[in-house]
């Protein structure tokens, strides 16, 4: 793999960085404290106009056709400014890719352009349930055929953008007699459909501006043509798309980790103790060296996974490696950044405490670190056998 970004990828990186620093960074702290949700939505609309909601989507559906590497670098730049915005953009891209991969031509033309253009503030990925988190095959939400409709019943949890999504990609059991994971199908459900209820907004540790909701399906009737892809083939699709989503979340984590270390490094150049700048102390220098080394390794792992996906090659192991390393490195970087700032790092006067809260979830959503290690070991053992 040639490690230099192409001119197009560099342009996307620079454009995203400039926008993020000019528009997202100045309002991130206020949004974290519960500031205007309208500002958050306006910034998402601007990102849509820049082509950020469909970076790996074909032009005919309103996408940018920039590819997976461009998606990764854009996610990193957005997350350096605002993790809440970044996770929304990541999920929007993920939803669009699922529809592009599985949807009928009619479904693609109906829904993808609305997310790419910003007509829909967001799309949502409704997979997780109370008893089906790391084990999505254990879901209990059902879809029963009734004439020209499907009737959905069940509850989904921790759904990003649940309160503002225009369309939901929903997984439900369609053959309860099938072996576990084999009788699951994928559906498109529009917001406002009778029987689709947006439940409580979760009170979270971080990423406050991004809504995370419970979604209930109460005899929710949807047209028969809402089925996406093959009947009873939804679990395989979910697993495949989650692998791609891990590149997005790993890139988000990298951005947050870089933001934390950048802030801490700048602080070390100004802060003086014992008669000299703290950056002159070996203890601080080693923290800076170790954390930036880990973050650079994260970037390379992410580029490798993105490159393989872009080439149409198997990338599940690489995506899991990138996600677990980047997310854990970002958490460590935030911890060390706070240590460099000392007591100031623990206060809301500086952004480190927000970065630390925002980074924490990255080792959990889109598959926990423990699940990533299971995937990596399984793939390696398969190669040996």
Fill in the DSSP letter of residue 350.
Answer: S
How far apart CA 137 and CA 127 sit, in angstroms, is: 10
How far apart CA 156 and CA 140 sit, in angstroms, is: 10
- Catalytic, 366? Answer yes
Q: From the candidates 203, 280, 366, 370, which is the catalytic residue?
A: 366
CA distances from 22 to 15, 16, 80 (A): 11, 10, 12
What are the E-state strand segments in the chain? 122-126, 142-146, 149-160, 165-173, 184-190, 196-201, 212-223, 227-228, 272-273, 276-277
Site of tokens 């080792």: 363
How far apart CA 181 and CA 155 sit, in angstroms, is: 18
Q: How many CB atoms lie within 10 A of CB 286?
A: 11
Burial of 276 by CB count in 10 Å (0-12 exposed, 13-18 middle, 19+ buried)? exposed
Fill in the DSSP letter of residue 132.
Answer: B
Please list the active-site residues.
366
């Amino acid at each position: 793999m040639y490690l230099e970004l192409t001119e197009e990828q560099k342009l996307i990186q620079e454009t995203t960085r400039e926008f993020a620093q000019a528009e997202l960074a100045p309002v991130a702290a206020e949004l974290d404290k519960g500031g205007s949700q309208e500002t958050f939505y306006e910034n998402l609309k601007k990102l849509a106009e820049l082509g950020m909601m469909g970076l790996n989507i074909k032009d005919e559906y309103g996408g940018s056709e920039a590819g997976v590497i461009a998606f990764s670098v854009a996610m990193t730049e957005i997350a350096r400014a605002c993790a809440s915005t970044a996770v929304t953009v990541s999920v929007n891209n993920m939803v669009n890719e699922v529809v592009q991969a599985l949807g009928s031509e009619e479904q693609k033309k109906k829904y993808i352009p609305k997310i790419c253009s910003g007509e829909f503030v967001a799309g949502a990925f409704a997979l997780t349930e109370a008893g089906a988190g790391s084990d999505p095959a254990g879901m209990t939400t059902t879809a029963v055929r009734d004439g020209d409709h499907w009737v959905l019943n069940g509850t989904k949890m921790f759904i990003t953008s649940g309160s503002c999504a225009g369309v939901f990609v929903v997984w439900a059991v369609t053959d309860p007699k099938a072996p576990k994971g084999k009788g699951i199908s994928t559906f498109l459900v529009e917001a406002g459909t009778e029987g689709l209820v947006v439940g409580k907004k979760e009170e979270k540790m971080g990423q406050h501006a991004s809504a995370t909701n419970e979604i209930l399906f109460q005899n929710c009737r949807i047209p028969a043509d809402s089925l996406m892809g093959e009947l009873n083939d939804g679990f395989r699709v979910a697993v495949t798309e989650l692998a791609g989503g891990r590149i997005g979340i790993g890139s988000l984590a990298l951005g947050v980790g870089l933001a934390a270390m950048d802030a801490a490094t700048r602080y070390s150049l100004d802060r003086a103790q014992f008669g000299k700048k703290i950056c002159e102390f070996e203890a601080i220098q080693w923290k800076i060296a170790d954390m930036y080394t880990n973050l650079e390794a994260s970037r390379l792992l992410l580029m490798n996974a993105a490159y393989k996906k872009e080439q149409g090659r198997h990338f599940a192991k690489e995506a899991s490696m990138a996600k677990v390393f980047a997310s854990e490195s970002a958490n460590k970087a935030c911890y060390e950044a706070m240590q460099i700032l000392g007591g100031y790092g623990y206060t809301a006067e500086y952004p480190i405490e927000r970065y630390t809260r925002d980074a924490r979830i990255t080792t959990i959503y889109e598959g926990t670190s423990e699940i990533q290690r299971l995937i990596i070991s399984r793939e390696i053992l398969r190669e040996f056998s």
